[in-house]
Amino acid sequence: MYLVSACFASPAPNDHHWGTSVRYDNRQEAEAFNIQFKGADEDYLKTFDLELIAGRNLLPGDTIREFIVNETFLNKMNIASAEEVIGKNLSINKGAPAPIVGVVQDFYDRSFREEKNAICITTSLKDYNNYAIKLSAGNFQEPIEAIQSIWTRQYPAQLFRYEFLDDQLAEFYATEHVLVNIIKVFSFIAIVIGCLGILGLVSFMAANRKKEIAIRKVLGGSIAHILSIFTSEFIKLILIASLIAVPAGWWAMSRWLENFTYSISPEPWVFVTAIGLSVIIAALTISVQSFKAAVSNPVDSLRGNV
């Protein structure tokens, strides 16, 4: 059993937009903003899990007889209560007025870079371009083949073509996905290079200070104490580097997020976690070489042997 809705387009971000003029409550002049038209049948809300916050769903029909609007429409009209618009007339594209019967919770029909649109949903058979079908999670091959068979019988002259909504969304944000993957790759490369650099510095330091380490061991210095000599010095350097990297990272993330109308602010815990992971990775890298220096025979070091 599938949920099926005939519609103009899905409510998710896509390239199918139809903005048109709108008049509210039998006003003579059109409002200062356009409204996005979403032609859809009475199963549209259920199929896409859109939530009504006031009024009722659309009744079955094939022409424009009633409207559902979204919360952004209320905001643009400076209307505080959703109940206030129920029963008021709406006219789009200079057409005949029809009553508003419901208000739906806002959803994003554009990229996060853009402001949410005022939206109206109404029955309009001539404007249905797609069938939206909600399938249960699992193996999609069998239901798709069944749907294709039905489509071929009903529309033999029309090519059957389908697209998953999550793929549509992924394509819409393809640039962001590519950018994230590039950042991941270069971050990994930077971590590897950083670890190799630290390993080289520790090796150099151990070679230069091997006699000091030997004397400390002869005088009773423990392996843990000798490890702390190396670790503490490098941890200080990492923390100093973080004082430079954190403001730079915060600035870069903030500038990127400014491209989106709806975005979050960089969270402090992200940078605290990054510093913590850097310290852990550096400590593990340092421990490898410094442990070798700490457990070496002090007699060999004092005699000048490697």
> Number of folded domains in the chain?
2
Contacts of 129 (CB under 8 A, 6+ apart): 7, 8, 9, 16
Judge if 184 and 286 occupy the same domain: yes
Instruction: Determine the pLDDT at residue 204.
Output: 76
Please report where in the chains the tokens 């976690």 appear, as a residue: 273
Q: How far apart, in whole angstroms, are the C-alpha atoms of residue 26 and residue 221? A: 90
Give the whole-angstrom CA distance, residue 25 versus residue 99: 9
Give me the domain span that covers residue 202. 173-303
Contact 72, 95 (CB under 8 A): no
Q: 129 and 10 in one domain?
A: yes
Claim to verify: residue 23 and residue 71 sit in the same structural domain: yes
Q: Note whether 92 and 126 are within 8 A (CB).
A: no
Among 106, 134, 162, where does a domain finish? 134
The answer on 203 and 104 residing in a single domain is no
Tokens of 264: 């979050």
Residues 219 and 286 in one domain: yes
Residue of higher predicted confidence among 203 and 243: 243
Confidence of residue 301 (pLDDT cuts 50, 70, 90): low
CA-based nearest residue to 113, from 227, 245, 11, 263: 263
CB 227 within 8 A of CB 287: yes
Nearest to 213 by CA among 89, 300, 118, 301: 301
- Tell me the per-residue pLDDT of 120-167, one tens digit each, with 9 for 90 and over: 999 999 999 889 998 887 778 888 888 899 889 988 888 898 888 888
Quick one: how far is CA 160 from the chain centroid? Answer: 31
- Residue 149 domain-assigned? no
- Indicate whether 63 and 179 sit together in one domain: no
Q: Using a pLDDT cut of 90, give the percent of the chain over it.
A: 31
Q: Is residue 143 part of a domain?
A: no
Residues 182 and 289 in one domain: yes
Q: Tell me the pLDDT tens digit for each residue of 17-55.
A: 788 999 999 888 899 999 999 999 999 999 999 999 999
Q: 113 with 52, same domain?
A: yes
Q: Do 96 and 178 lie in a common domain?
A: no
- Whether residue 153 lies inside any domain: the answer is no
Domain annotation covers residue 150: no
According to DSSP, residue 258 is labeled T
Model pLDDT for residues 234-273, shown as the tens digit of each residue: 778 888 888 888 888 888 888 877 777 766 777 888 888 8
Burial classification of residue 49, based on how many CB atoms lie within 10 Å of its CB (0-12 exposed, 13-18 middle, 19 or more buried): exposed
Residues 10 and 95 in one domain: yes
Q: How far apart are CA 117 and CA 299, in angstroms?
A: 78
Q: In the structure encoding, which two tokens stand for residue 43, read together? A: 């199963």
Mean pLDDT of the chain: 83
Indicate the residue among 134, 165, 190 that finishes a domain: 134
Tell me which residue has tokens 């919360």: 71
Domain boundary at 134, 163, 198, which?
A: 134
161, 56, 136: which is closest to 103 by C-alpha? 56
On whether residue 47 sits in a domain, the answer given is yes
In a domain, 140, yes or no: no
